[in-house]
Amino acid sequence: MKKFKYLIPKTLDEAVSLNQSHEGSAIYVAGGTDVMVKIKSGKLAPDYLISLKHIGVGSQLGVNRETGALHIGGLVTHRTLETSSLIRLQYPIIHDAVQRIGSTQIRNVATIGGNLVNAVPSADGAIPLIALDARVNIYGSAGERTVDLVHFFEGPGQTVMDRGEIVTEIVVPKQPSRTGGAYQKFGRRAAMELPLIGVGVLITLEEGSNRCAKARITLGVAAPTPIRTLSAERYLVGKEITENTLNEAGKLAAEESRVRDSVRGLAWYRREMVEVLVQRMGVKCLQRIKETEAL
């Protein structure tokens, strides 16, 4: 294993300028659970690691009172999300995903910002956030910019981030009332597993009816990046949400997915599971809307 120096900046700007002064030979690190594995295996060989754990921003988790938006700092760990009652009660679709990423030991350390910038096609953390129309705040030497999470990923391991940029925050806009969401990671084992397919569904119902006002159907491992299946979403809007319409949406989502054969599973099987899981997650959305209204 190559030796490296570990730098501990105290501010965001210090982190960015350290990266500039070690251009090409430094990488940022937060929890380190992925970076450390890549260094051990030789996939990464930086001279410098720049820790983001002490820069004083990125650890916040809460709802902005004025806008109603949920703010998740880039350094928030999966475990913090998993154990947050705010997430469990008001954003169960996020809870569905984060509680099954890695192990407790990994979730205690690994950050949501790190999960996003790794940009693995299975990105469990990203699928529910895309369904929630999340945006990502990115900071670098040119200042801050905001990107819709659905446009953040460009390919396996590739994002729109420029060299030296840092994910500071994920912002989830306030959701309309009568919105329910659910995510299912589907793998061969119950634990310590990457998904064969990941399916997130978010549905908003019109007031006083079962008609769909808004739909999001997002898939992981169905393409080189997390995707939304727009034809399935469009199909649902304006329709009564029933088992039949959800079945149809599942079929459309399966057609739109670009699943492929891999060691974990075959494309035809993944396609069938998309169909099944879109329907099941849709039913769960309805249940969750009902439960919220019963409170």
212-220 and 197-205 beta bridge pairing: antiparallel
Q: Which is nearer to other proteins, 41 or 85 (CB)?
A: 41
Q: Least Å distance between CB 239 and other proteins? A: 36
CB atoms within 10 A of CB 22: 17
Contacts of 270 (CB under 8 A, 6+ apart): 196, 197, 221, 222, 257, 259
Q: Where are the alpha helices (DSSP H) in 123-228?
A: 126-131
Kindly tell me which of 53 and 239 has the beta carbon lying closer to other proteins.
53
Residue (8 or 283) nearer to other proteins, CB: 8
Angle between helices 243-256 and 267-294 (to 10 degrees): 140
Instruction: Tell me: does residue 125 bind other proteins (CB under 8 A).
Output: no
Name which of 36 and 147 has its Cβ closer to other proteins: 36
User: Among candidates 187, 184, 81, which has minimal Cα distance to 134?
Assistant: 81
Q: Which amino acid is present at 65?
A: R
CB nearer to other proteins: give 29 or 161.
Answer: 29
By CB under 8 A, is residue 53 in contact with other proteins?
yes
* 103, 141, 231, 287: residue in contact with other proteins (rule CB under 8 A): 103
Query: Could you say which residues in the range 181-210 bind other proteins, by CB under 8 A?
Result: 190-192
Q: Residue 158: is it exposed, middle or buried by C-beta count within 10 angstroms (0-12/13-18/19+)?
A: exposed
Q: Note whether 40 binds other proteins by CB under 8 A.
A: yes
**H-helix or E-strand spanning residue 28:** strand 26-29
25 lies in the binding site for other proteins (CB under 8 A): no
CB of 253 closer than 8 Å to CB of 217: yes
- The span of 30-38, 138-146, 168-176, 272-280 binding other proteins (CB under 8 A) equals 30-38
**Closer Cβ to other proteins, 52 or 278, answer by number:** 52
Minimum gap (Å) between residue 193 Cβ and other proteins: 10
**Is there binding between residue 270 and other proteins (CB under 8 A)?**
no
DSSP string, 210-275: SBEEEEEEEEESSSSS-EE-HHHHHHHTTSB--HHHHHHHHHHHHHH-----BTTB-HHHHHHHHH
Residue 3 CB, shortest distance to other proteins, in Å, is 5
Site string for other proteins, 65-84 (x = CB under 8 A): --------------x-----
Residues that bind other proteins (CB under 8 A): 1-6, 8, 29, 32-33, 36-37, 40-41, 49, 51, 53, 79, 99, 102-106, 108-109, 190-192
